[in-house]
Amino acid sequence: MKNQVLKLQGRSGCTLEIIDGSQGIVLRKYAGTVSYNLRLENQIKKQINFFNNLPLSEYFNAPAVFQYSKGSDRQLAWFDMEYIYGEKYNEYFEKCTVQQLNRNLEIFLEYFSRSLDLSVPKKTDPEVFLQKTKQIREAVSEDILKDPVFSTTLTYLEQNVPDGYLPRNPCHGDFTFSNMIFSNNNIYLLDFLDSFIDSPLIDLVKLRQDTKFYWTLFIDKTIQNHQATKIIQILNYFDRQIQQYFMNNSYIQGWYDYLEKLNLIRILPYLKTKNEIMFVMDCLKR
């Protein structure tokens, strides 16, 4: 018999349950609606694929998936995964030494370098991006549509799809610190996202959503002021090294700026408060 220990709901509407059962502690994730079932199924497949194929780094891992259901037009999709005992980014960063910090930086740089090395450069149909901007336009509120920062950014994205080769390789899709658990010298990735297109640059953009813009720090209401000060110093240090390591590469830069803007406006349909919307608009101005 399984006993529910805790129930949570994420921004996508998915529900998480921590269950204590015969296999011990298990994390079960449900689709928020039946219309989300296919997306959750794709996310499950991504997590399983990452767990079974770990060529990028010996230090990155994903929770094992024990069982899942695709759901139906009347039932929600769900899956059970391994519960990882570890620390959130703020707990880990608050007490890590300079040596540990530099080692983690090396792990992240190695992860992206290898992912880019294994990527296949491909021409991408501009319609893929135009369809995404159309979906965003239809999903945001009227107030956001009227915002000049948003409208200017959207017009730019519609008129300036890069025509260069995009490095293609499976990616996490939402590679932010909020989706990582630090445990026994390993970093476990959670909440894989079914990206509209897979590229290591998508993950690099998502990581810099934190290191450059402090997104996870902004939305995490549990962070104390003394913690925030140290975390910001660490994020700034990470970001300087990431820029130095990757941003001088013209192959990357041609796509990176475009994907960064696209990533920021993709967040907007999921935001619930005025402060969050203003935060993203300020990021777009930068």
At residue 286, the pLDDT reads: 86
Q: What is the pLDDT of residue 11?
A: 63
Q: Give the separation between CA 272 and CA 56, rounded to whole angstroms.
A: 35
Domains identified in the chain and CATH numbers? 3-82 (3.30.200.20), 89-285 (3.90.1200)
Q: Within the chain, which residues score under 70 in pLDDT?
A: 1-12, 54-55
What's the confidence (pLDDT) of residue 5? 53
Q: What integer pLDDT is reported at residue 219 of this predicted model?
A: 92
The DSSP bridge partners found for residue 17 are: 7, 28
pLDDT at 1: 47
Q: What is the pLDDT of residues 32-67, one digit of tens each?
A: 999 999 999 999 999 999 988 866 778 899 999 999
